[in-house]
Amino acid sequence: MFLRIDHVGIACHDLEEKIAFYESTFGLTVVSREVNEEQGVREAMLHVADGPSGASYVQLLEPLHPDTPVGRFLAKRGEGVHHIGYGVADVTEALRRLSAQGIRLIDERPRHGSMGAAIAFLHPKDVGGVLTELVQAPER
């Protein structure tokens, strides 16, 4: 089902400060910046590597407000890994299969994600405590 690790989502208090850290420490480059009101985040994608099934990224996430998924995560746990996004060929089909296996879906239908992707989240309680995101990259 998984084609690649699309991105690792990292929650932070200060997006610009964290971008500067990843650029200067690891030599990564920002390829996209977006505000996603629906998800309550300001985010940046930093390119890590290209593979046969697409690229992988570090995604830095700053909450738009405290009362958002990333805002609540920061308040409870502090900065750190927030979720893992896996590339899939067809997010709707993946949701159907996972739901049939009893995995709780946060999103019954795909939503708008970073860089034009269709995304959907699975509940961390059904994935060993890991907030898991399915990512279908746009047709190029």
DSSP code for 29:
E
Q: Which residues are the active-site residues?
A: 7, 43, 59, 83, 133
The residue ranges of DSSP E strands in the chain, in sequence order, are 4-11, 29-36, 41-51, 54-63, 80-87, 111-112, 118-122, 132-136
List residues near ligand MC0 by CB under 6 A: 9, 36, 39, 41, 43, 59, 61, 69-70, 72-73, 76, 82-83, 85, 106, 113-114, 119, 121, 124, 129, 131, 133
Find the shortest distance in angstroms from Cβ 64 to ligand MC0: 10
Nearer to ligand MC0, 24 or 64 (CB): 64
Nearer to ligand MC0, 24 or 65 (CB): 65
The per-residue b/e assignment along 56-89, b for 16 or more CB within 10 angstroms, e otherwise, is bbbbbbbbeeeebbbbebbeeeeeeebbbbbbbe
The residue among 65 and 140 lying less far from ligand MC0, judged by its C-beta, is 65
Residue 130 CB, nearest approach to ligand MC0 (Å): 6
